[in-house]
């Protein structure tokens, strides 16, 4: 049974587990979004501020608000962007504490599948963005095998430990995203697929980082020792190192953007 809500409360662990992946995808997403400078932004589900930092340094925002349900993540984000243009607060993506039309752009980076009611989350983003403003998101194509640690999940499933998906995993599909944006009244909707690669120093580094995932960690810890040994052997076969001993993993995200009508 899926949890109704997933919380990431360790900003430092999240940075290694997913922050690096988020920035890799963001490096492709932001040029595709091509936002003008001097805009008022809200980063919904900002987590530890990995993508918020990219907005601050790349988009010259007039203002930048990050919001997340985890006080611990918000504390990490504040420390990360101390003295920058960004401001952070604890809050719910399904009930954003902002006035109608308060922003020029709203974004969800790797978040929509964690929102219990994605349609409500997208509608809230559209509400707080002015007419003509942008509402955008990118999310791992989990059901299509695009999650960064999909290879680990696949081998765990082969050993009888199926993955526990986020509560709204279906929302990350391209057709689902298009429907969500259309139903929220957004226009000029465009989508694209983002494929990224991340290098790890070796398999041990990959294994250590994977074990920090809030969904993966307890399931790995509960596996019998013999199954863990088998799992590691299978990973060694699938993640062959290069001449330097490094391994490379691929991830794939679906991205979408649309415009608020007047």
**Tokens for 225?**
């020792």
Q: What is the mean pLDDT of residues 133-160?
A: 96
pLDDT digits (tens, 9 = 90+) for 13-60: 677 888 889 889 999 999 999 999 999 999 999 998 999 999 999 999
Cβ atoms within 10 Å of 60's Cβ, excluding its own? 13
> How does the average pLDDT of the chain come out, rounded?
92
How much is the average pLDDT of 140-166?
A: 94
pLDDT tens per residue across span 206-245: 999 998 887 888 889 999 999 999 999 999 999 999 999 9
The pLDDT value given to residue 262:
81
The CATH homologous superfamily for domain 11-147+164-199+252-259 is Vaccinia Virus protein VP39 (3.40.50.150)
Kindly give, in sequence order, each residue whose CB lies less than 8 Å from that of residue 30, ignoring residues fewer than 6 positions away.
54, 55, 58, 59
DSSP 201: S
Q: Does residue 135 have a pLDDT over 90?
A: yes
Rounded to two decimals, what is the model's pTM? Answer: 0.91
pLDDT for 4: 38
Show Cβ contacts of residue 34 under 8 Å, excluding neighbours closer than 6 positions.
none
| pLDDT over threshold 90, residue 132 | yes
Task: Output the pLDDT for position 5.
Answer: 44
The band of 106, judged by pLDDT with boundaries at 50, 70 and 90, is: very high
Q: Which two tokens stand for residue 250?
A: 């691929």
Mean pLDDT along residues 99-110? 98
The pLDDT value given to residue 11: 54
Q: What pLDDT score was predicted for residue 12? A: 65
Specify the length of the chain in residues.
262
Q: What is the pLDDT of residue 9?
A: 52
Gap between the Cα atoms of 117 and 114, Å rounded = 9
pLDDT at 1: 30
Percent of the chain with pLDDT strictly greater than 70: 95
Sequence spans of domains, the chain:
11-147+164-199+252-259
Residue 172 three-state SS: helix
Distance CA 18, CA 210 (A): 10
Angle of helix 118-128 relative to helix 174-183, nearest 10 degrees? 50
**How sure is the predictor about 93, in pLDDT bands with cuts at 50, 70 and 90?**
very high
């Amino acid at each position: 049974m899926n949890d109704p809500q997933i919380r990431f409360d360790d900003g430092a662990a999240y940075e290694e587990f997913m922050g690096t992946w988020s920035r890799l995808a963001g490096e492709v997403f932001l040029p595709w979004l091509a936002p003008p400078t001097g805009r008022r932004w809200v980063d919904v589900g900002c987590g530890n501020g990995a993508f918020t930092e990219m907005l601050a340094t790349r988009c010259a925002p007039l203002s930048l608000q990050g919001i997340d349900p985890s006080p611990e993540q918000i504390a990490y984000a504040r420390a990360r962007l101390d003295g920058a243009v960004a401001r952070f607060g604890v809050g719910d993506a399904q009930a954003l504490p902002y006035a109608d039309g308060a922003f020029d752009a709203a974004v969800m980076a790797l978040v929509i599948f964690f929102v219990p009611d994605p349609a409500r989350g997208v509608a809230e983003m559209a509400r707080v963005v002015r007419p003509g403003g942008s509402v955008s998101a990118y999310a791992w194509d989990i059901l299509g095998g695009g999650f960064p640690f999909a290879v680990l999940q696949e081998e765990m499933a082969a050993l009888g430990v199926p993955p526990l998906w986020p509560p709204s995993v279906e929302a990350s599909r391209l057709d689902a995203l298009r429907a969500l944006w259309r139903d929220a009244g957004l226009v000029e909707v465009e989508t694209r697929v983002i494929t990224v690669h991340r290098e790890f120093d070796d398999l041990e580094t990959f294994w250590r980082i994977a074990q920090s995932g809030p969904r993966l960690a307890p399931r790995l810890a509960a596996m019998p020792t013999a199954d863990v040994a088998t799992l590691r052997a299978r990973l060694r076969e699938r993640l062959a190192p290069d001449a330097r001993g490094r391994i490379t993993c691929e991830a794939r995200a679906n991205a979408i953007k649309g415009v608020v009508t007047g």
